[in-house]
Amino acid sequence: MSLILNNDSCLQDYQTLGGGKAYNLKRMVDAQIPVPEFIVVSNTFLLNYKKEINFSSLLGELTSPQLDAIRVEKIFRDHPMSLSLVEELKIQLSANNLDGVEVAVRSSGLDEDSKDHSFAGMFSSFLHQQTISQIEASIRECWASAYSERCLEYRLKNNLSTADIGMGVVIQKMAQSTVSGVMFTRNPIDQINHESVIVEALYGQCEGLVSGELEADHYVVNRKTEKYEFTLAEKIEKFQRASVGHGLEKVSLDEALKNTQTLEDKKISELLSLAKNIETWFNSPMDIEWAYEHEKLYVVQMRPITTLPPLSFYNALINGDQATLWDNSNIVESFAGVTTPLTFSLTKEAYAVVYQVTSRVVGVPEKVIAQFGSSYENMLGLIRGRVYYNLINWYKLLLMIPGFGSNQGFMETMMGVKEELTPSQQELFHFLDQAPKYSPLKRIQVLCGLIWKFIRIKSVTSEFTDNFNQMYSEYFQIDFEKKSLRELKSLFERWTQRITYQWKAPIINDFLVMVAFGTLKKLTEKWVASETPNLQNDLLCGQGEIDSTLPTITLMKLAKGYDESEEIKNLLSSKSNE
């Protein structure tokens, strides 16, 4: 088994012996991504060291994370590596151009960033190490960090073994950054803006950006054209190699660089090319930390952006090239919280059935209904557990009814949309002038059918309500937990036939309300000179008999009753809320 891994070692050895950081570095090398030279002290090297110092006897039983961490750290500090292990380390440093240069010594736990567990931030790293004695001591400190109090508590909490804790240690050349930063291969804030790569850049080491202590220049680069927009930060300081010790220090930046671009066109083009290559190789949007050592570009580390959708989301061949407009202004009243996939799937199907039935009721031809089949089936969407209307498909379905295709205002009123569409959003509705071509006779028939339903709305509503209440009362008495799956399916299908397929009255009523309210809004705006926005809403609320206003009206009645009772009034004003 390999004591020390280098570029010639296979990826499998890195995965099993090198730990998470080392494995990712090797994958980057195999993808021909420019990373600073490195070697990895493997877990086999650690096992040899433990065997030489008789570590298991010194370790004993682990009983208290706090006390054990102190004890184990002392064991590693008090027992230097044998001459043979140190000599092997020297040979590999020299063979990989790391002898005599400043290196970073970083822990790379075998459990780190695994599928089920992450030890992020729990292991040690040491920067700007140069002599063999510094490197050797730092390796032992990295090993000790695997037994830190936090790590041991994490293992106990997650039922992980403490008997065979493994670790690799990465020894990597320090990039003496003149310019550094981070780069996102897709926009992590504006997910729809899939053509942009985001670059943050500043002078010196990236620590200033990562820690949040320094402001960075912000670049938004178009993936195709390479054109970019930028916002310059006022750059006063930078992080660089400390003049004393092995860390970093913050120093004043040359006044001439204060308001200059950190990146010229050539570097932006190079970073963009790197971003696209990395994303293609790893098949994921990536967060990349990079550094320029003068004109030499290095990737320091990278990780997938887990808050973004997969790359297929941005692929026009897979996901189409048309945007979708989602809105929950109205439906949030019915689905106020997180909705399960089962509930959503049944609701989505019910909407499709109900609106197909309603279209037939108002006389829309079958061939037109068939033409809009996909719109019926995709009236709703489930996004991060929330139910939304697919506005584009709703508008398409409204086109089928003569007279509605050109009336966007009525539709927005019906849907409860609270914001006017922006110009870019309005472009999505290019199909509004493509309403089905009805003959004059058919238009009259459909409109007459709809008007007849409006005239009969009370009797239709009464019939629907009686049927619904009867079914509801019957089902309310059923103990569903005692029913078999076959019986439950039968009950569900019966409900679908008796209720879902008969959901005509509420939809007809919605159309009636939409037309009436839309007309009221237009007439109010035309006839009444008022500075009060949405005056029509105030007029209707004042009239009463609207269910959605009942909670407010009830609260007003309660408040009035309290005001008229001196006893209650004094009680409320003299006592605290508790």
329-357 pLDDT, tens digit each = 888 888 988 999 999 999 999 999 988 98
pLDDT(402) > 70: no
Contact between 314 and 186 under an 8 Å Cβ cutoff? The reply is yes
Q: State how far the Cα of 121 lies from the Cα of 142, in Å rounded to an integer.
A: 12
pLDDT(115) > 50: no
**pTM of the full structure:** 0.60
pLDDT in tens, 68-99: 889 989 999 999 999 999 999 999 999 999 99
Q: State how far the Cα of 265 lies from the Cα of 288, in Å rounded to an integer.
A: 19
pLDDT(216) > 90: yes
Count Cβ atoms below 10 Å from residue 507 Cβ, excluding itself: 17
C-alpha radius of gyration, the chain, whole number? 34
pLDDT in tens, 442-469: 778 777 877 888 888 899 899 999 999 9
Q: State how far the Cα of 263 lies from the Cα of 270, in Å rounded to an integer.
A: 10
Q: State how far the Cα of 43 lies from the Cα of 23, in Å rounded to an integer.
A: 13
Contact between 502 and 466 under an 8 Å Cβ cutoff? The reply is no
Average pLDDT over residues 252-278: 92
Burial bucket for residue 56 (CB in 10 Å: 0-12, 13-18, 19+):
exposed
pLDDT(114) > 60: no
The DSSP bridge pattern shows strands 326-327 and 217-222 to be unpaired
pLDDT(569) > 80: yes
| 32 Cβ contact partners less than 8 Å away, ≥ 6 residues apart | none
**pLDDT value at residue 444:** 81
**pLDDT value at residue 525:** 84
Over the chain, what is the mean pLDDT?
85
- How far, in whole angstroms, is CA 132 from its chain's centroid? 44
Q: Which residue(s) pair with 203 in the sheet?
A: 179
pLDDT(116) > 60: no
More confident residue, 116 or 63: 63
pLDDT in tens, 478-524: 999 999 999 999 999 999 999 998 888 888 888 788 778 888 888 88
Q: Which of 316-320, 332-336, 353-357, 373-377 is the least confident region?
A: 316-320
Q: State how far the Cα of 221 lies from the Cα of 309, in Å rounded to an integer.
A: 20
Average pLDDT over residues 164-172: 90
Task: Pinpoint the alpha helices (H) of 3-62.
Answer: 11-13, 20-30, 43-53, 55-59
Q: Which of 131-140, 241-250, 374-383 is the least confident region?
A: 241-250
More confident residue, 518 or 424: 518
| 505 Cβ contact partners less than 8 Å away, ≥ 6 residues apart | 457, 460, 461, 463, 464, 465
Tokens 């850049």, residue located:
201
Q: State how far the Cα of 203 lies from the Cα of 241, in Å rounded to an integer.
A: 13
pLDDT(418) > 70: no
Q: Look at residues 358, 425, 344, 349 and name the one whose alpha carbon lies nearest to residue 392.
A: 425
